[in-house]
């Protein structure tokens, strides 16, 4: 096949590679992966009769109500362009779609009742999912909600619509408002009521209807503010979106079950990163670790459910490392009790209890704190152990609840990707004087002279080692995996050499895995490595270190 052609996602037909085709492929993924329509019900470049004048015209995508592709079975018609003309097609649902960009308009969804009012096209917030009808949208019992399969697509179209057309334009403010509504949905899903309060029915398109939706959401938000685990995150805040935009967000999220055990944690993590402002994806040195790398690191570090190991991430970001830790623990619980006949609720309860006692994370950024807390609530209910503070501050100044649970030399496992970069040195004297690495080193030994500034990733290494359990005569101490710039590990500069001498005096290095340069692109091309280390009773003078290079991610 020629390089400028490829195969259509829905039909397998050969198509040209151009911008309009890219938009069509994107919307086919929405139809199939997110909304659940079977590929066999979809066709492209279909010639249809337009209305009573019998003029035939080719349309970009047709979704039929079965696998029989007849015009009378047309259910959804999609035009890959912005609206230019009136609809005159025999289908109940019609869509204009011109791609997702921050300033794009649409997509525009329209519905008409072919029996009662076939000429009246009503603008609706979203399409029905496969198997739904206009009458059943929003009429959900908790058992009717489906596990989320394509959250990144859902979050993308929701976020870009909010950014391009909504009244709030600051990226971080949009993210905060979406997270508030996500928490309202979580509150609804965990409530014992059979019927969903987080819903928006097609009959509620009027001003009065949207007011009724808002009333239900305000009630859920009030419960959220009273919640002992979640409430303090939003204390003194209200939902900023008006009734129209609350109704839109609810309509997009209402049919999925965020808390469903089959909701994919990787997909959820990818979706959450859609909400992150661009300033958090590089300017502050916070580069989010690809899930493949996180999963590899967690396979090696291997947290143990049976050993009740405490797991900590001191720069948890959006919660990627902790979510995969929970995934690993869930697998162990399922395997351990597979012959006990435990219900899913019982197994989930065991995981929740573990997360509440043994899994912790903290991050300096308030938005990342909220994202991580909601993410952890969804994937494993480790909701009460995510903290919002600067991990590099003197330990005595950290959150008292955190200090009550995480003591120096008490942590079994640390998994983290701290901020790193060339322009983000920590110059605070009150911080630097707390750290050996805040001082000048000679042969790896700290001197009295305080540095003018230090890379935060190096300070994080020292702070994390401070938390790791000490070894005993019979057992090694705590262990850690951390993402570090490769320069720290192989650079010839004096500060890199001295850092390595210091590190080799503190811990035993188990392994160093160099990551590909593209691992954190497009946000940075900095070469990085995964460093695995542990505390031992006595560091040998010579010992083997496993070293490897990953050539692709």
pLDDT tens-digit readout, 117-154: 888 888 887 888 888 888 778 778 888 888 877 788 88
**Integer Cα distance of 510 and 529 in angstroms:** 13
pLDDT at 239: 96
pLDDT in tens, 524-538: 567 889 999 999 999
* pLDDT for residue 234 is more than 80: yes
Decide if pLDDT at 498 tops 90. Answer: yes
Average pLDDT in the 370-374 region?
84
Q: How far is CA 465 from CA 165, 355, 503, in A?
A: 48, 22, 10
pLDDT at 285: 45
Say if CB 370 and CB 233 are below 8 A apart.
yes
Let me know: does 187 contact 223? Beta carbons within 8 Å.
yes
Comparison of pLDDT for 90 and 426, the residue scoring more: 426
CA angle, 467 then 381 then 464, to 5°: 15
Give the highest mean pLDDT range of 190-194, 265-269, 444-448, 522-526. Answer: 444-448
Residue 453 has pLDDT above 50, yes or no: yes
What are the φ/ψ torsions at residue 166 (nearest 5 degrees)? Answer: -80, 170
Higher pLDDT, 312 or 33: 312
- Can you give the pLDDT at residue 540? 93
Over the stretch 475-493, which tens digit does the pLDDT of each residue have? Answer: 999 999 999 988 888 888 9
* pLDDT given at position 297: 94
Instruction: Assess contact for 391 and 364: CB atoms under 8 A.
Output: yes
Four-CA torsion 445, 447, 449, 455, nearest 10 degrees? 20
Mark 220-234 as b/e (b = at least 16 C-beta within 10 Å). Answer: bbebbbebeebeebb
In this predicted structure, the answer to whether residue 509 has a pLDDT above a threshold of 50 is yes
pLDDT over 60 (residue 502): yes
pLDDT at 388: 93
* Cβ proximity of 472 and 537 under 8 Å: yes
Please identify which residue in the block is written with the tokens 């403010």: 173
Query: For the purposes of burial, counting CB atoms within 10 Å of the CB of 427, is it exposed (0-12), middle (13-18) or buried (19 or more)?
Result: exposed
The average pLDDT across 289-310 equals 91
For the cut 70, the answer to whether the pLDDT of residue 422 exceeds it is no
- Please indicate whether residue 261 or residue 373 has the higher confidence score (pLDDT): 373
CB of 142 closer than 8 Å to CB of 82: no
Rounded distance between C-alpha atoms, residue 490 and residue 549, angstroms: 13
Confidence band of 552 (pLDDT split at 50, 70, 90): confident
- Band of residue 267 on the pLDDT scale cut at 50, 70, 90: low
CB 405 within 8 A of CB 291: no
pLDDT at 123: 82
**Is the pLDDT assigned to residue 55 strictly greater than 80?**
no
Q: Between 398 and 96, where is the model more confident?
A: 398
Residue 471, pLDDT score: 95
pLDDT for position 522:
54
Confidence of residue 311 (pLDDT cuts 50, 70, 90): very high
How far is 48 from 277, CA to CA, in rounded Å? 43
Q: What's the CA gap between 234 and 453, in Å, rounded?
A: 35
**The tokens of 480 are what?**
């850690």
- Neighbouring C-beta atoms of residue 425, cutoff 10 Å: 15
Of 363, 359, 302, the C-alpha closest to 332 is 302
Least-confidence region, from 229-243, 267-281, 340-354, 370-384: 267-281
Q: Does the structure show a pLDDT above 80 at 274? A: no
In three-state secondary structure terms, 45 is strand
pLDDT at 549 over 90: yes
The reported pLDDT for the residue numbered 372 is 85
Range in 9-18, 378-387, 465-474 with the lowest mean pLDDT: 378-387
Number of H helices and number of E strands within the chain? 15, 20
Q: Are 245 and 162 in contact (CB under 8 A)?
A: yes
Give me the residues paired with residue 528 across strands. 485
* Nearest to 314, CA basis, from 180, 199, 464, 457: 464
Strand partners, 113: 117
- DSSP assignment of 428-492 equals -HHHHTT-GGGEEEETTEEEEEEPS-B-HHHHHHHHHHHHBPPP-SSS---EEEEEEEHHHHH--
Q: Which of 452, 548, 454 is nearest to 502 (CA)?
A: 454
Nearest residue to 377 via CA among 483, 171, 231: 231
- Average pLDDT of the chain is 86
Three-state DSSP class for residue 404 = helix
Q: Percent of the chain scored above 90 by pLDDT?
A: 47
Assign 284 a pLDDT band (cuts: 50, 70, 90).
Answer: very low
61 pLDDT above the threshold of 70:
yes
Report which of residues 19 and 333 the model is more confident about. Answer: 333
Q: In the prediction, which pLDDT does 103 show?
A: 60
pLDDT at 306: 94
Indicate the pLDDT class of residue 368, thresholds 50, 70 and 90. confident
> How far is residue 481's CA from residue 328's CA, in Å, rounded to a whole number?
16
In the numeric block, which tokens belong to residue 203?
């009959």
At 101 the pLDDT is 67
């Amino acid at each position: 096949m020629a390089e400028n052609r490829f195969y259509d996602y829905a039909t397998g037909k050969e198509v040209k590679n151009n911008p309009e085709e890219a938009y069509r492929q994107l919307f086919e993924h929405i139809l199939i992966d997110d909304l659940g329509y079977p590929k066999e019900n979809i066709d492209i470049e279909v010639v249809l009769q337009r209305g009573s004048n019998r003029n035939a015209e080719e349309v970009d995508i047709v979704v039929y109500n079965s696998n029989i592709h007849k015009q009378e079975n047309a259910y959804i018609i999609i035009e890959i362009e912005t609206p230019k003309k009136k609809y005159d097609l025999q289908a109940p649902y019609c869509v204009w779609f011109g791609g997702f960009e921050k300033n794009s308009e649409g997509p525009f969804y329209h519905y008409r009742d072919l029996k009662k009012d076939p000429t009246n096209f009503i603008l609706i917030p979203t399409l029905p999912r496969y198997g739904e009808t206009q009458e059943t949208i929003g009429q959900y019992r908790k058992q009717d909600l489906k596990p989320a399969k394509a959250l990144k697509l859902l979050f993308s179209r929701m976020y870009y619509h909010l950014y391009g057309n909504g009244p709030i334009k600051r990226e971080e403010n949009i993210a905060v408002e979406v997270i508030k509504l996500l928490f309202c949905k979580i509150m609804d899903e965990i409530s014992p009521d059979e019927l969903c309060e987080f819903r928006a029915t097609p009959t509620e398109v009027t001003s009065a209807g949207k007011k009724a939706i808002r009333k239900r959401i305000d009630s859920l938000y009030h419960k959220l503010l009273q919640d002992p685990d979640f409430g303090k995150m939003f204390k003194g805040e209200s939902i900023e979106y008006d009734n129209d935009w609350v109704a839109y967000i609810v309509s997009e999220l209402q049919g999925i079950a965020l808390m469903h055990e089959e909701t994919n944690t990787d997909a959820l993590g990818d979706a959450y990163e859609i909400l992150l402002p661009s300033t958090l994806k590089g300017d502050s040195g916070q580069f989010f670790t690809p899930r493949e790398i996180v999963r590899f690191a967690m396979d090696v570090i291997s947290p143990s459910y049976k050993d009740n190991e405490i797991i900590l991430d001191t720069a948890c970001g959006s919660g990627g490392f902790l979510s995969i830790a929970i995934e690993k623990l869930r697998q162990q619980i399922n395997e351990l009790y597979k012959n006990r006949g435990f219900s899913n609720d019982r197994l989930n309860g065991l995981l929740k209890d573990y997360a509440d006692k043994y899994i912790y994370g903290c991050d300096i950024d308030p938005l990342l704190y909220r994202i991580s807390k909601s993410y952890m609530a969804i994937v494993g209910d480790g909701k009460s152990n995510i903290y919002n503070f600067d991990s590099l501050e003197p330990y005595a100044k950290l959150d008292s609840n955190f200090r009550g649970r995480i003591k120096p030399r008490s942590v079994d496992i640390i998994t983290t990707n701290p901020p790193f970069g060339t322009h983000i040195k920590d110059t605070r004297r009150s911080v630097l004087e707390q750290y050996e690495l805040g001082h000048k080193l000679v042969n790896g030994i700290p001197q009295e002279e305080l540095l003018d500034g230090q890379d935060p990733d190096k300070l994080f290494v020292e702070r994390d080692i401070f938390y790791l359990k000490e070894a005993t005569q019979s057992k090694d101490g705590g262990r850690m995996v951390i993402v570090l710039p490769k320069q720290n590990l192989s650079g010839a500069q004096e500060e890199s050499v001295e850092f390595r001498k210091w590190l080799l005096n503190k811990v035993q290095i188990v392994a160093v895995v160099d990551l590909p340069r593209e691992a954190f692109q497009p946000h940075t091309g900095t070469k990085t490595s995964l460093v695995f280390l542990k505390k031992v009773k006595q560091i040998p003078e010579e010992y083997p270190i496993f070293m490897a290079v990953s050539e692709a991610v």
